[in-house]
Chains A and B, each alone.
Chain A
């Protein structure tokens, strides 16, 4: 009798755990019953500054023409980078080619993230005065429209836990398409209009209250890359927003 009782209790425990997880997963994935803002497992809002402690010479300043180290370009990509001509970009009104989403995120940026509405996050940068919208749920399925520097970004919370009083946590995954051809680096390292830019957004907190946003991202481009370009970029949350300094696109510096 005792064995039966124990088995029943164990089964109940298992079902309770599974139910809690399932509830959390459903809530996270569905997005219909509650808005993306209400379901957010992490808070991305605020002003974040890129800490240029990696690749300083390629991110803080414009490197020399032909300096394409680290990027897995294929031959066409290398040839295209060798042909970079900022004057030509300026003449064509394409000073913002290095400010498209895949290049912009590695730039020396401050970005402000805020809720545009209940199902869209707005990402603004001072560097190049760009704006990207991260759209959740059905709003991401909107007609893509013409290609743009920031493209069309579909966002999805990756949610775990949260059932029956257990901690709820997660991250954000975004996939950006419909991009205008641009540069991964200021010196003309190219990506094409077929590029797909996938990002995983995590927020890490330190005991002293500091917060870091880590963006693990992959650029896939069958035209100019011979392998996915995978990097991680980190930003620090700024409480003092006074250093926000909008500057226009610049094809040279």
Chain B
């Protein structure tokens, strides 16, 4: 008995949030008899039971087939570097299938808005790790029989860990209390863990650009580990701010040393702009007054429509619209270098025009000293 109690504490006690509605962990299922437990004998039944277990085991063996996901996965930021690193440009909604309402709300976004206490965690939501520059960590929670009850995903900028329940529990009622991580269930389809997340809170989809996601959003995530590569594909649906599912696929690489260090699991709030405190002021732009609404036109010669997140701009046929109006900029002005900004740093090639995006001198110095 004592060992069971300890096991529960070790497995789920320290990491599980307070028990609420359908999000509470199931009690540990004990299938082994304790040493002092009475032994029940049923004459003649063991062989029948054994056969039954055998048949069921053989039949369902692969229903529980799964890939070991436990571990830390290092970011491989070879896609959407700007969005995930320094942050998107205001007015850059390229690649997004936004509704008119979503677009209008995004254009009201000001860079000071996330500094208001009420909105400091809006950038953090389940699966936001796909838009962030740091690692992910997975671990499993098992019951006493060794069965995985839940997979847990933690990562930078999550407001909470995402717990993917694998025990078949239903999603709670729409009105149930739910944490910022929403409610997620999962099952295996072959080697892919398929997760479905509901009960999320209002959030921003991309970093620093104000593309909204409503609390009606749902996510279907496909998590596949192939050798050391972890691929997560999320399909986000939002009847309020998206006109079609928003699909993102990203890659991480297993890091056996877990060298990313502690991951920030939670969002914390604090006063960032004292002048905003207790004023009730909400930084914003009025419709038509966002000075960055045409930024992508000015900086990259992209037609305004292409930057405003219309779904039809995501498909190859849109190039017919682009061809007569688009010419590449004469040069690259910002965030142009390879996977790391190297202008003026050791390793930078002489004579390259690659622009470093005006990295702060202190950061340059830090990188330089680290590399030396």
Residues from 313 to 372 in B contacting A, C-beta threshold 8 Å: 313-319, 322-323, 326, 328-333, 335-339, 347-349, 351-354
Q: Give the dominant DSSP class at B's interface.
A: mixed
Q: Assuming A13-B58, A216-B229, is B322 touching A160 (CB within 8 A)?
A: no
Answer yes or no: A166 CB below 8 A from chain B CBs: yes
Pair B317/A243 contact, Cβ less than 8 Å: yes
Q: Give the dominant DSSP class at A's interface.
A: mixed
Q: How far, in whole Å, are A202 and B352 apart by their CA atoms in the complex? A: 39
- Contact pattern, B 230-241, Cβ under 8 Å of A = 1, otherwise 0: 010101000000
Q: Assuming A68-B337, A75-B347, A78-B354, is B63 touching A167 (CB within 8 A)?
A: yes
Pair B339/A53 contact, Cβ less than 8 Å: no
Residues of A within 8 A of B6 (CB): none
Pair B316/A166 contact, Cβ less than 8 Å: no
Pair B80/A70 contact, Cβ less than 8 Å: yes
Pair A232/B249 contact, Cβ less than 8 Å: yes
Residue of A10, A67, A245 near B316 (CB, 8 A) is: A245
Q: Which of B153-161, B164-172, B186-194, B269-277 contacts A (4 or more CB under 8 A)?
A: B186-194
CB distance from B331 to the nearest CB of A (A): 6
Pair A204/B233 contact, Cβ less than 8 Å: yes
Answer yes or no: A50 CB below 8 A from chain B CBs: yes
Residues from 157 to 204 in A contacting B, C-beta threshold 8 Å: 160-161, 164-167, 169-171, 173, 187, 200, 202, 204
How large, as a class, is the contact surface on chain A? Answer: 35 or more
Answer yes or no: A34 CB below 8 A from chain B CBs: no
- Contact pattern, B 18-43, Cβ under 8 Å of A = 1, otherwise 0: 00000000000000000000000000
Answer yes or no: B125 CB below 8 A from chain A CBs: no
Pair A70/B323 contact, Cβ less than 8 Å: no
- Contact pattern, A 69-81, Cβ under 8 Å of B = 1, otherwise 0: 1111101011100
- Contact pattern, B 64-91, Cβ under 8 Å of A = 1, otherwise 0: 0100000000001111111000000000
Q: How far, in whole Å, are A64 and B302 apart by their CA atoms in the complex? A: 12
Residue of B59, B190, B248, B319 near A60 (CB, 8 A) is: B319
Q: Assuming A82-B354, A212-B233, A245-B317, is B247 touching A66 (CB within 8 A)?
A: no
Q: How far, in whole Å, are A2 and B226 apart by their CA atoms in the complex? A: 43
Answer yes or no: B291 CB below 8 A from chain A CBs: no
Q: How far, in whole Å, are A68 and B340 apart by their CA atoms in the complex? A: 10
Q: Residue on B with the closest CB to A167?
A: B62
Pair A109/B78 contact, Cβ less than 8 Å: no
Answer yes or no: B57 CB below 8 A from chain A CBs: yes
For the A-B complex with A79-B349, A170-B191, A204-B189 known, give 17 more contacts whose Cβ atoms are closer than 8 Å.
A5-B50, A6-B46, A13-B54, A50-B316, A51-B314, A54-B95, A64-B300, A64-B336, A68-B336, A69-B338, A78-B337, A108-B319, A161-B190, A169-B191, A229-B78, A230-B76, A231-B251
Which B residues form the contact surface with A (CB < 8 A)? Answer: 46-47, 50-51, 53-54, 57-63, 65, 76-82, 94-97, 189-192, 194, 220, 222, 224, 226, 229, 231, 233, 235, 245-251, 253, 300, 302, 306, 313-319, 322-323, 326, 328-333, 335-339, 347-349, 351-354
Q: 23 interchain pairs (CB within 8 A)? A: A17-B58, A52-B314, A57-B300, A61-B326, A61-B328, A62-B328, A66-B331, A69-B337, A70-B79, A73-B339, A75-B347, A82-B354, A108-B316, A108-B319, A202-B192, A202-B231, A206-B220, A214-B222, A231-B251, A232-B79, A232-B231, A232-B233, A234-B249
Minimum-distance CB pairs A-B, first 7? A169-B190, A232-B249, A56-B94, A56-B95, A70-B81, A108-B316, A67-B332
